[in-house]
Structure 1
Amino acid sequence: MLRSLFLYTALVIGANATLAAPIDWTAPRAGDMAKLEPVDPPVAASTTAFFDESGAEKTLADYKGKVVLLNFWATWCAPCREEMPSIQKLQAEMGGDDFEVVPIASGRNPLPAIRKFFGETGVTDLPILTDPRQKLSRDMGVLSLPVTILLDREGREIARLIGGAEWDTPEARAIIQQAIAP
């Protein structure tokens, strides 16, 4: 009896994994999303720590179980300033138990400058996260700003977009919705 229970449990778990549809990278890739490059096979994200507003260490493993839009930006970056309102809107529209935007200020970005940047760009619902020595940025292969990386629920990089983008478009939401779908 116990053996049958294990067998059926394994079958259910295996069946659920096979039901997950892969992301259709061709259909929704219009506008800025045409710059989104799939990573196949997915690559494990860095385990390097970054910091929250209070100085507490965090890692990307803290978000395991969620699809994450990881955005590397800086207060001095003009394209970052342009895209941040759309990132804010995306979090407001889709953020929750299954999805979260994780914006990380890369390099020297003092907290007062970050708060000013957020105020000027209308950001009210995103956390202040920093990578002051760019250790995480380097580990993730970020060579310029902004860079946005889509992580799956297991914390693996599945896509990357270099440069600014509008993240609250139907195309962006469609890609993220596919990543969230079981």
Structure 2
Amino acid sequence: MTLSRRALLAGGLASLAARPGAANDAPSAAALAHRVTPGTDAAGLAMTDADGTPVPLSAYAGRLVVVNLWAPWCLPCRREMPALARLADRLAGHGIPVLPLAFTWQGAAGVRRFYREIGVETLPVLLGDGDNLKATLGIEILPTTVLLDGSATHIATVSGEATWDDDATFAWITGLA
């Protein structure tokens, strides 16, 4: 199932109202981040890979995980994704995966097309379910990025467009690991 029409409309309107500048005009993700206390259990967050195979968060047990919630139609998502890919490349050496979880009616082909359009080659294709997202984390606005600890507990959130490839964000995330 996908995001509800109301959530899609709200997200689209939020995208239109978002900062018009390029991603490098967006604040650092570290500056926008806020801790979630008490942390909420995100183990039920549904993800599937490009082939439709479920990807359980338990596959990442014991590791900090960065989950970016986005959609191809979301302008702020489009602007921040290249910086998120650069962050993913940096974090890979520290064992911290970045999982871009897409919400789109276009499926894996739409995500691959989006990645090609913006020049992203290294991020995985992962698809989410909007109803599951709302039920699990209570999130309806895109982009939102959540950090999950090694027990799949939601410990931090960055809402809205952010700069992901700056040193402050890298230090913040690696400091949580």
Contact 1:146 1:163 in 2 (8 A): yes
Structure 2: which 5+ residue stretches go unaligned?
Answer: 1-26
1:155 counterpart (134, 152, 155): 152
State the 4+ residue runs in structure 1 displaced beyond 6 angstroms: none
Residues 2-151 of structure 1 mapped to structure 2, 5 A cutoff:
31-96=28-93, 98-131=95-128, 133-138=129-134, 139-151=136-148
Q: What TM-score comes out, normalization by structure 1 length?
A: 0.76
Higher relative contact order (CA 8 A, sep 6+): 2
Contact 1:68 1:102 in 2 (8 A): yes
SS of the residue aligned with 1:91? helix
Q: What TM-score comes out, normalization by structure 2 length?
A: 0.78
Q: CA–CA distance in 2 between the matches of 1:56 and 1:31?
A: 34
CA spacing shift, 1:136–1:97, aligned 2, 3 Å: farther
Contact 1:43 1:158 in 2 (8 A): yes
How many percent identity over aligned positions? 33
**Alpha-carbon RMSD:** 1.7
SS of the residue aligned with 2:62? coil
Task: Kindly tell me the number of residue pairs found equivalent between the two proteins.
Answer: 150
Q: CA–CA distance in 2 between the matches of 1:59 and 1:116?
A: 25
2:164 counterpart (154, 164, 167): 167
Q: CA–CA distance in 2 between the matches of 1:94 and 1:107?
A: 26
What one-letter code is carried by the residue in structure 2 that aligns with 1:149? V
- Of 93-102 and 153-162, more deviation after overlay is shown by 93-102
Q: CA–CA distance in 2 between the matches of 1:165 and 1:32?
A: 5
Q: How far apart are 1:97 and its partner, in Å? A: 6.1
Q: How far apart are 1:175 and its partner, in Å? A: 0.8
